[in-house]
Amino acid sequence: MNTFFPQSAPSEWMAQFTGPGAWQAWLNQPQPDIKPMLSTMSELGASIEPDVMSKLQNDYMQQLSALWQDVLASKPPAIADRRFAAPEWQSNALYAFNAAVYLLNARFLMAMADAVKATPKAKQKIRFAVQQIVDAMSPANFLVTNPEAQQKIIETKGESLTKGIAHMLADMQKGQISQTDETAFEVGKNVATTEGAVVFENALFQLLQYKPLTKTVYERPLLMVPPCINKYYILDLQPENSLVRHAVEQGHTVFLVSWRNPDASMGKTTWDEYIQDGVMKSIEVTQAISGSDQINALGFCVGGTLLSTALALLYAHGEKPVASLTLLTTLLDFSDPGVIEVFIDEAQVAMREQTIGQGGLMPGRDFTSAFSSLRPNDLVWNYVKANYLKGEEPPPFDLLYWNADSTNLPGPMFCFYLRNMYLENKLKDPGKVKVAGEKVDLSKIDTPTFIYGSREDHIVPWTAGYASVGLLNPKKRTRNRFVLGASGHIAGVINPPAKKKRSYWTNDQVPATADEWMKGAQEHPGSWWPEWVAFLSEHAGKKVNAPRKLGNAEYKPIEPAPGRYVKAKAEQGK
């Protein structure tokens, strides 16, 4: 990849992989073309030992020969891949063989990537690039090699093809693949519906306060700081899977930061401003409205990074604004940033600094494209096959609607975050990062902390999230609690108890390493939310009568939740 978070419109995907050359390559081979991979390896200073390469090629030819023998003997090849699970793939020997050869080629290319001699970072980039090619070249992705799509055309007398073309043209106009029926949802109508009001706003954010659902509430409120890379309503999708509503139902007065979707007027906004005018201001207003000097605070993903940075500065000043801190899938130590690392190196960061570092926007569509590329079969090619080749309508799904509702970031803010955290990993070292002219020292934060990680998280590896245990309360490690949930970055977090899905792990000890923690961890069925609620309640103070009005004399309600900011669509930056 030659840009950080590259843009990939559907037209580009289709043109790259549906041209005559692509079809002919598939019909004429089986042996895969390894020249592009060898070229990439050369650029990265990587190589494969000749004897290892020779063995890989010999193994490949033996398996290909065995596959041919099965075909000649009319023995259908075994295809253990869900992309080819439909009966149409098995009922025709040509399609079954094509799928089997593709899987053989894929294994060969990935084995080459694994055999590369290179630095860990270079090897990760090579493996990622090869995986992108392998996934893109699946015969399931092309009409001429997909028997399911061809059968659908026959059954519908061409209607599926007409619809597929219409879907593709509509997505080309929109600039991204449709993953859900976006007309089925509306922010404030059937997502982000928990009742409340905007009680403060500035150029960066609106602060929401939610209406109590219990007669009494805990005296200390809860402030939620979501990621600014996405919109806040991942925490308030629908009543049955809303973490916001769940906390309100447990008797907590919830305040939440709704970040503004940056437009050109915010093109020069800095990381410092997000800390001072964003997080710090939200803490100040929450304290003022609740009348409580101490609040409970929660940060999710980069929201947790922002929140922790702000708290480090406040504690360094002698202030103790929080009674507890919760971090959900948050990186403070960026030693292992997950697969996203393939997009990050000095050249790419410098390129972003040159183009938008002094002003401009990081377009939200680039984020969507990059995150989709981390799981292309699930988030790209699955929809190419269904929407375009088979002409199917994407079903309504609230989480995917949220995923497509992208947000921009101001260039200076984004570049600071990219260099100081992801590239140079300075935040974990006391005094290495300066915010508003002051050195940041995370060890200054002195409060009980609940840290959550998701076991299959590809954006914030849970072991990297666990590293926060050693950065916060370093002299009082027992004040930290780590809980591990099943599933990934989003689905692991949004796991309400009523669904009775998945599982989570706990360990009352907080050893130095994630591996040690896991060895002593115990698995429990269901949601981790009750564990968090119990922790939160311990630090929420006594119960008092629920407030009859939202806001106060100084901070009066401005408009009903969810507010204007969350409804703004991303403008494209330059």
Q: Which residues are catalytic?
A: 301
For 131, residues 6+ apart whose C-beta sits below 8 A from its C-beta are 110, 113, 376
Q: Are 324 and 409 in contact (CB under 8 A)?
A: no
Helices (H), 451-563: 462-466, 468-471, 514-519, 529-538
State the residue for tokens 């023998």. 69
Angle between helix axes 20-28 and 10-18 (nearest 10 degrees) is 40
Give the count of beta carbons closer than 10 Å to the beta carbon of residue 465.
26
Q: What angle do CA 324, 460, 530 make, to 5 degrees?
A: 45
Task: Give the dihedral sign, CA 509/515/520/522.
Answer: positive
User: CA 129 to CA 123: how far, in whole Å?
Assistant: 10
CA nearest to 220, candidates 319, 289, 284, 294:
294
Amino acid residing at 465: G
274 within 8 A of 243, measured Cβ to Cβ: no
The end-to-end CA distance of the chain, in Å, is: 20
Question: In sequence order, which ranges of 116-158 are alpha helices (DSSP H)?
Answer: 120-136, 147-155
DSSP 8-state class, residue 344: -
User: Cα(384)–Cα(12) distance, rounded to whole angstroms?
Assistant: 12
The 8-class DSSP code of residue 48 comes to: -
- In angstroms, rounded to a whole number, what is the distance separating the alpha carbons of residues 562 and 151? 46
Question: How far does CA 320 lie from the centroid of its chain?
Answer: 31
Contact 325, 445 (CB under 8 A): yes
